[in-house]
């Protein structure tokens, strides 16, 4: 089955760190660029970060630049998001998302996980 | 960063009616790299349209997308009960991918 399963979310204090994971299955992970997208409670979607299939191109939203780091491990077929210096406004459901076409660097997101919740509170 | 504006914020319609959503970009989106997603409560977003006008796999033909440059439209020709949801546009033509704020379609 083609799927993405996020994990690693939880409750953390401001200034703390978390590492999110996204386990993939059912497709050739190494061929696809991947993304993290978040959604604060009751709010819209916010793109967070992008990594190309070979990890040579990485992009971040301005809101997380310098604090978050995206990475991937082909041996584990997994995507990661290291989140440092967390703030209250980082509280959200974090989704990993796969791009549609492996031949392209960028494309729409055709596969999403169910998300992992990150709550930053004192 | 390209800012996307969606209108209206909420659309109240009845099943069988036609729904039209607008997405406007603050600058031209290259190669029509514009997508539309549907999200229902408690669910992950689902890709409907990519490249401004191409239906994703398994999407019914009552969904159609159009537009180029800075103005894009999603149309649902006849609303089915399962179409009541929130719809987001997204651009992926610049290094900072952005989503619009969404349009909610609720039952009139």
Residues of chain B with Cβ-Cβ distance to A108 below 8 Å are 35, 47, 49-51, 56, 90, 92
pLDDT of residue B12: 96
CB A34 within 8 A of CB A109: no
Of B1 and A95, the structure prediction assigns the larger pLDDT to A95
> What is the percent of chain A where pLDDT is above 70?
100
Of A102 and A18, the structure prediction assigns the larger pLDDT to A18
Chain center to CA of A51: 9
B99 touches chain A (CB under 8 A): yes
**Span A17-44, average pLDDT:** 97
pLDDT of residue B86: 98
Helix ranges (DSSP H) in B6-64: none
Distance CA B106, CA A41 (A): 19
Residues of chain A with Cβ-Cβ distance to B97 below 8 Å are 35, 47, 50, 59, 106
Of B44, B93, B98, the CB nearest to A47: B98
Contact A112 B46 (CB under 8 A): yes
Residues of chain A with Cβ-Cβ distance to B101 below 8 Å are 44
Q: Which residue has the tokens 């989106």?
A: B29
* CA-based nearest residue to A58, from A30, A28, A34: A34
Model confidence over A1-23: pLDDT tens digits? 999 999 999 999 999 999 999 99
pLDDT of residue A102: 87
Of B39, B50, B95, the CB nearest to A59: B95
Instruction: Provide the pLDDT confidence category of residue A78 given band limits of 50, 70 and 90.
Output: very high
Please give the C-alpha separations between residue A23 and each of A12, A109, A112, B2, B86, in angstroms, as whole numbers.
22, 16, 11, 30, 27
Q: In the structure encoding, which two tokens stand for residue B46, read together? A: 């689902």
Q: In the structure encoding, which two tokens stand for residue B1, read together? A: 């960063």
Q: How many residues does chain A have?
A: 122
| Chain B: residue whose CA lies nearest to A5 | B44
Distance from the first to the final alpha carbon of chain B: 36
């Amino acid at each position: 089955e083609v799927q993405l399963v996020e994990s690693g979310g939880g409750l953390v204090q401001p200034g703390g760190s978390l590492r999110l994971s996204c386990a993939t299955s059912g497709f050739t992970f190494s061929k696809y660029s991947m993304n993290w997208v978040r959604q604060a409670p009751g709010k819209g979607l916010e793109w967070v970060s992008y990594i190309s299939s070979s990890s040579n191109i990485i992009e971040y939203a301005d809101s997380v630049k310098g604090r978050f780091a995206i990475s991937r491990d082909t041996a584990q077929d997994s995507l990661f998001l290291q989140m440092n210096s967390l703030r209250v406004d980082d509280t959200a459901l974090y989704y990993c998302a796969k791009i549609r076409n492996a031949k392209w660097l960028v494309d729409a997101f055709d596969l999403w996980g169910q998300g992992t919740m990150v709550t930053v509170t004192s | 960063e390209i800012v996307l504006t969606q209108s209206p914020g909420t659309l109240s319609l009845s099943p069988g009616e036609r729904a039209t959503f607008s997405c406007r970009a603050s600058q031209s989106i290259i190669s029509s790299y514009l997508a539309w997603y549907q999200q229902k409560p408690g669910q992950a977003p689902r890709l409907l349209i990519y490249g401004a006008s191409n239906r994703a796999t398994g999407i019914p033909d009552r969904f159609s997308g159009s537009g180029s440059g800075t103005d894009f439209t999603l149309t649902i020709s006849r609303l089915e009960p399962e179409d009541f949801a929130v719809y987001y546009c997204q651009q992926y033509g610049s290094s900072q991918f952005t989503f619009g704020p969404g349009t909610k379609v609720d039952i009139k």
